[in-house]
Amino acid sequence: MRHFIKETDFTVGEMAAVFATAADMKRERSQGTEKRAHLEGQSWGLLFFKKSTRTRVSFQVGVHELGGQPVMLNAEELQLSRGETTADTARVLSRYLHGLVIRCYAHSVLEEVSRLGTLPVVNALSDYLHPCQIYTDFFTLAERWSGGDVKRYLESLKGRKIAFLGDTACNMANSFILGGAHLGVEIALAGPANYAPQAEIREELSRSGLVPSWRFTQDPIEAARGADMVYTDVWTSMGMEAERAERLSQMQPYQVNAAVMRAAKVGAYFMHCLPAHVGEEVTQEVLDSPASIIFDQAENRLHVQKAILAHLSTHGLTQT
């Protein structure tokens, strides 16, 4: 039994297989010819502790299109909200379901369910990591940088520079740090000193035996200079609303705007995992610019996550 809780749960070879399958699924879906049944006869739970648009819809549609039955589970509507333990919930759901997709706050929830349950677990987001998003982001860039050659997807990412501005201690920044080291992508992070990457992600790299490929600066232009892609995320994530005023004050210099994009490489892309708070972490001008590929990025969540589910299913994929 396999889980997908962090970026390194799949080898680089398995990641290449996931990307190749995602590309096939995307093409077949656009042609109306997709007939894959990796989850046929299976029921997959979607356990959500946080509100969601892209994650919920893409996984629900994805499970259905793979021949499975998606079972929506709102944590507030389960006995979890009345004190049932995560351990007991994991054991019970394992008796009903074939797999479980979890979108939560504490990363420990994913770790506990994967340890005590007897079904595959997928991290649809935690406050620590967002691996489905980072795989999607790298896939979206590889589509362009490889010239459409699936065999060159991962090769096209190596040596590239990605700039991430804002809260560089957030889950997306952590996922870029871990995913970048996994693939040999340079990650330049810029934000306030008290929102720099934390010890936990540094220790994760060490445990994984990866060579760090990231650096941190408080200068947004320095981080963006020569970048192949510029990325940002909301400055105040769910559960951090009490910090909003302080975060807005400290992170204003790290807004992605025209000046930041001019510092990046000519032809650089802009990405955002959405939803965006226009006028805070990014300007409308950048969101609407030709550099912005945010909606291709959002669409690709469906294709990449379907490929991840297929890889974890009993049918699996062939590693390349």
One domain, residues 216 and 293? yes
pLDDT at 304: 98
160, 301, 303, 311: the catalytic one is 301
One domain, residues 91 and 175? no
pLDDT at 317: 46
Distance CA 238, CA 25 (A): 32
| 301 flagged as catalytic | yes
Q: CA of 191: how far to CAs of 161, 164, 176, 188, in Å?
A: 17, 9, 15, 10
One domain, residues 179 and 194? yes
In a domain, 40, yes or no: yes
Distance CA 192, CA 165 (A): 10
In a domain, 45, yes or no: yes
One domain, residues 138 and 125? no
One domain, residues 172 and 244? yes
Distance CA 228, CA 225 (A): 9
pTM, two decimal places: 0.96
Residues 128, 130, 135, CA angle at the centre, nearest 5°? 145
| 225 flagged as catalytic | no
pLDDT at 97: 97
CB atoms within 10 A of CB 301: 26
pLDDT at 318: 45
| 133 flagged as catalytic | yes
pLDDT at 306: 98
One domain, residues 270 and 303? no
Distance CA 249, CA 280 (A): 10
| 132 flagged as catalytic | no
133, 250, 297, 305: the catalytic one is 133
pLDDT at 238: 82
One domain, residues 115 and 210? no
DSSP conformational letter for 265: P
Is 50 exceeded by the pLDDT of residue 88? yes
In a domain, 2, yes or no: no
SS (H, E, C) 190-242: ECCHHHCCCHHHHHHHHHHCCCCCEEEECCHHHHHCCCCEEEECCCCCCCCHH
- CA 14, 15, 21, 22: dihedral to nearest 10 degrees? 160
Section 72-83 average pLDDT: 95
What digits encode the pLDDT tens for the residues 219-246? Answer: 999 999 999 999 999 999 888 889 999 9
CATH number for the domain including 73?
A: 3.40.50.1370
Q: CA of 319: how far to CAs of 14, 139, 148, in Å?
A: 5, 17, 20
One domain, residues 79 and 214? no
In a domain, 317, yes or no: no
In a domain, 212, yes or no: yes
| 272 flagged as catalytic | no
In a domain, 319, yes or no: no
Q: What is the DSSP string of 46-88?
A: EEESS--SHHHHHHHHHHHHTT-EEEEEEGGGSGGGGT--HHH
Element (H, E) at 17: helix 12-31
In a domain, 1, yes or no: no
| 219 flagged as catalytic | no
Count of domains forming the chain: 2
One domain, residues 150 and 38? no
Section 57-74 average pLDDT: 98
In a domain, 262, yes or no: yes
The label of the residue with tokens 């340890």 reads 115
130, 160, 182, 247: the catalytic one is 130
Domain membership of residue 104 as a residue range: 7-129+299-312
The answer to whether 62 and 301 have CB atoms below 8 angstroms apart is no
One domain, residues 140 and 274? yes
One domain, residues 266 and 118? no
One domain, residues 119 and 229? no
What digits encode the pLDDT tens for the residues 105-157? Answer: 999 999 999 999 999 999 999 999 999 999 999 999 999 999 999 999 999 99
103, 182, 247, 272: the catalytic one is 103
CB atoms within 10 A of CB 268: 20
> Is the preceding peptide bond at 275 cis, omega within 30 degrees of 0?
yes
pLDDT at 314: 59
Tell me, rounded to whole angstroms, the distance of Cα 241 from its chain centroid. Answer: 22
104, 233, 255, 272: the catalytic one is 233
Residue 295 tokens read as: 């909606």
